[in-house]
Each structure stands twice: as C-alpha cells, then as structure tokens.
Amino acid sequence: MRFPRRPRGPRPPRPLAAFLLTPLLAGCFASSGGDDAAASGAGDGSRLRVALAFPPAENLSPYGADATILSRLGVTEGLTGLDANGAAAPALAASWRREDARNWLFTLREAVFQDGTEVTPAAVAASLTHATEAEPAPAALSGVTLTAKAEGGTGVRVTTAAPDPVLPLRLSSPGLAVLAPKAYGTKGAVDPAGTATGPFELTGVTGATAAGLDRFDDYWGGRAQASGVDVRFIADGTARANALRTGQVDLAEAIPVSQAATLDADTRRETATTRTTSLLLNVKSGVFKDPALRAAARAAVDTSALAKGVYEGHADAGAGIYGPAVTWAEGKRVEPAGRAKAGSPGGASLTLATYANRPELPEAAQVLKQQLEKAGFKVKLEVREYSRLESDALAGKFDAFVGARNSLLDTGDPVSLLAGDFTCDGGYNLALLCDKGVDRAVAEAQTVAGTDERQDAAMAAEAAILGTDAVVPLVHQRVITGVGAKVSGVLLDPYERALVGAGTRR
C-alpha cells in the first residue's frame, strides 16, 4: 500500500448534471482470476466495459436503493467495509474503538477526495451529518439517531442516542459513503462526480443508460490497474448475457439462470449470496389485510417448485428471511408461532407485481400466480422495470410483491434489515407491516451487543415476522456473474456491494 501524493490544490469536479447519489466499496472478497489488490506501478491499463442490471431508480440517490451502484463500481467508500466473514473491516477509518455505550472514536487513514482535498475529520463528520438529515433516511439509519464530530487531526467521534453495539457494521453501508464538502448542494442535492474517495471517479452519466468512470490516481489503496470503466445499464438479462458472449462487455452482473448454459464454463462465476427472493403481502389494505387470507397464500406456495424449476437448481428453497449463505442462521432458527389459520380465498382478487430486471422474478411470479389461483384466488400479474415499480410498491398499490432482497446489504447486521423492512417506521417496508409484537422483538434485538446473542435475538424477531405471514420466503439465490476470459480481479461479493475494485483488469 502507498500513501497518495499530496494534492497540488483542489481540482474542480468534472461537469455533471446535479443528481442524488452514492455508495461504498467493500473489499476483502473473493476475486475472479487474479489478485484484487492494485499494484502501485501498474501501467495505463485497458478500460473495463461493464453491464449492470439495474438502471438508477431514484436519480442515483445516496440514501436509497441506488446506493450500491457506485460502490459496486469502486467509486465510493465509507468509514468501514465488510470482510468475507461479515465483520467490520477498515476502509477510510484505519481503526476504531468504543469509548462507552454511546460513543465511538474512528481514526482516519491518510486519504484524499477525488477533487484533491484532504479527507479530514471535519469533512467526514459533515458527510455523515448530511446522511442523518436526508429524507427519507438511509436504510442503515432506520431507528437510529447519531451525531458525528471531528476530534483532533485524525479522529471522528460518532455518538448515538441509544447504545448501538454494531455501529462499525452500520457505517459500512453503501448509503453512508463519505463525500467531499463540494458534493452537497442546496435542498439536499448531492453530486458525487469528483467528490468520492474510491479507485474510480465518476466522470459522466447518460440518463439511465450509461455512465463513465476514470481511474483516480491518488487513491489511498494504490493506483487501479484499469484506466477506467464504461458502464451500460441493461435491464434485460438475455441482452446482458449476449453482450458478454459477443465481446461487447467484459463483465456482466446477474446473468439469468436461463442464459447460464449459453456462456462458456470459464466465463461463469456462481456466488452464494445473502439474497432471498420473497413474496411480500400488503397487510395494510386489500385482500391480505385479512390474516386468514395471508395464511392461505402462504399455504398455497410450493417453494421447492420454484428452486428446482424457475431457478434450475441455482437457488435453495426458502427457509426464512436469512438463507444458507448466512451460515449461522440454520442452527438458530425459531419456529414461527401464532400464525392465523388459513381461510378460504373464495375467489378474492389481487394484483401481484414484480420487476423484470432479474429475469427469474417474472417467471417465479407466473408460477406463484398459478399456485394462488389453484388455491382459490383470482390473480392479476403486473411486471415492470424496477425503477418504474418501486414507488408504487412502497405506496401499497399492489396486494402482493415478489422481490429479491440481500438480507445483509444495508449494514451487514441481521437486525438492521428487520428494522428497515418489517417495522412500523421501516424505510423499505414493502409489506407495510406494522405489528406491535414484531416492533418489540426487533427493538429488543437492537439492544443486544454480543455476536451470538444478537444472532439469537435476530432469529427470534424473524420468527415474529414470519408469524404474521406478511412475508413468504421463496428461494435463496446464488448469483451468476459473467466474466470475460481476459478479465481478472473481479470482486465476487456475497453481500453484493462490490464488483469492480482497484485490482480488476483485462
């Protein structure tokens, strides 16, 4: 590792239409075909051509579902990252310590922003403060109040309103990436162009179709081996596979299982992930406001048919909110209690929605439609591109929703996912669940500090959530990444926060 050259003075960021954005790069994951650490003396290198599945859904907001896009591309970082075991790892913070129940002191490493200014305690504290003031709040801050203040020349003290034993994990979230002061405009606008800290710098965005990145030569972790990244957002999975197969791109994420066999064996990488595909039922309004009909829907679902049929063996049947990639979950799982008795659907009508960015989802939804109709429901299926679907789903405009969610994406903490997705104040509560018992179980789990004990509490809260039948886990996914034969150093991340790093090259 080398330290960056001292900046020669602030560099104006490249022009870019103002929009909201950010994420963070998590390192220490398995790389494909080579070392994932950049060599200081690397040459100019070729530009990487990358196909991503999800166009920006929220104008690349740093505080919403788009937050992982630039973390996967090596543009943004936070104070911490996640290692391969799911523990907090150093990123912009070289170390940290807990001073007392509510105070943590993070010591910064020497680094510079992409505009040439130094990463200072004041800049980091200001960046975190902006995140706390965002509306809606980032998922990682669901139910959490924190303040950040500079401490001396290298320290940032983060104080939480209530004890938060997993704060270093929380600060690894893509939604809490650190940006330079110039990134923050008026009325909450955030511009990441030339203001992040990662090995690649955002230089241009073409709507929801493409983006360009250049190497950031002063990256604290060493000069990237690729000279830049040209990104295409391709929602159609078959088109992504075709682009890789025909040499139009070097790297394509989320290859559909139906297309896996069309790729050469040495260009496919299958990674077990913490992603679960679930059926979420709208408990606030419509047909599934009735617990008996939710129970009937759950009883109608055959998850093994989905795993073997739709996913062609590239997934495991749903066991819970946390799947096999969360290795500790199986031995701690608690049987749900208090479920309602299944009622008779009696021809009740419902709208089932999903998105086409992950090609298996419409097929899974079609199978679910058949299963629910066999049980006595009348089902209308609606499929859109994700960016055109999310706001309606969060607003409760569908009775049921099929979605794929990485259970440890936002913080790496199993309890934080439950708080964000299944509590009354959760920011990504697609089931619109608001249950006192669930909120109580999640709140109790949030106070637990010990790793084993917190896992136990998370599983108890999972059981409370499953007991409402607001969510039916369908399958636990393995993700297929298409990697060109000449490409090495791809970050195969089970948390799906990282893809391109300083050592990715062709």
Whether the per-residue pLDDT at 20 is higher than 80: the answer is no
**Phi, psi values for residue 422, rounded to 5°:** -135, 10
**pLDDT of amino acid 503:** 97
| Three-state helix/strand/coil letters over 179-237 | CCHHHECHHHCECCCCCCCCCEEEEEEECCCEEEEEECCCCCCCCCCCCEEEEEECCCH
| pLDDT tens digits, 279-328 | 999 999 999 999 999 999 999 999 999 999 999 888 999 999 998 888 88
Helices (H), 104-195: 121-133, 167-170
Evaluate if residue 387 carries a pLDDT over 90. Answer: no
Q: What does residue 305 show for φ and ψ, rounded to 5 degrees?
A: -65, -35
pLDDT at 32: 64
What pLDDT, on the 0 to 100 scale, is given for residue 30? 62
Q: What is the pTM of this model?
A: 0.77
DSSP string, 299-317: HH--HHHIIIIITTTSEEE
The separation between the first and the last C-alpha atoms of the chain, rounded to the nearest angstrom, is 22
pLDDT at 207 over 90: no
Q: Rounded CA gap, 175 and 138, in Å?
A: 6
* Cα four-point dihedral sign 104, 109, 115, 120: positive
Mean pLDDT for 243-254 is 96
Residue 142's pLDDT band (cuts 50, 70, 90): confident
Tell me the average pLDDT across 150-164: 96
Residue 59 neighbours by CB under 8 Å, 6+ apart? 19, 20, 21, 66
45 and 488 in contact (C-beta within 8 Å)?
A: no
pLDDT given at position 51: 98
Span 254-283, pLDDT tens digits: 999 989 989 999 999 999 888 899 999 999
- H/E segment holding residue 82: strand 80-82
What integer is the mean pLDDT of 384-407?
Answer: 94
Contacts of residue 475, Cβ cutoff 8 Å, sequence gap at least 6: 276, 277, 303, 306, 307, 310, 311, 315, 316, 317, 318, 364
The residue among 80, 190, 66 whose CA lies nearest residue 133 is: 190
Structure token pair of residue 198: 């990662």
How high is the mean pLDDT of the chain? Answer: 89
pLDDT at 26 over 70: no
DSSP state letter for 291: H
Q: What is the DSSP letter of 330?
A: G
The answer, yes or no, to whether residue 166 has pLDDT greater than 50, is yes
162: left (phi over 0), alpha (psi -120 to 50) or beta: beta
- Work out the average pLDDT over 107-121: 98
pLDDT of residue 9 exceeding 70: no
232: left (phi over 0), alpha (psi -120 to 50) or beta: beta
The per-residue pLDDT for range 34-68, each reduced to its tens digit, is: 444 444 344 578 999 999 998 877 766 777 777 89
Give yes or no for residue 29 having a pLDDT over 70.
no
How much is the pLDDT for 33? 55
Of the pLDDT bands very low, low, confident and very high (cuts 50, 70, 90), residue 72 is very high
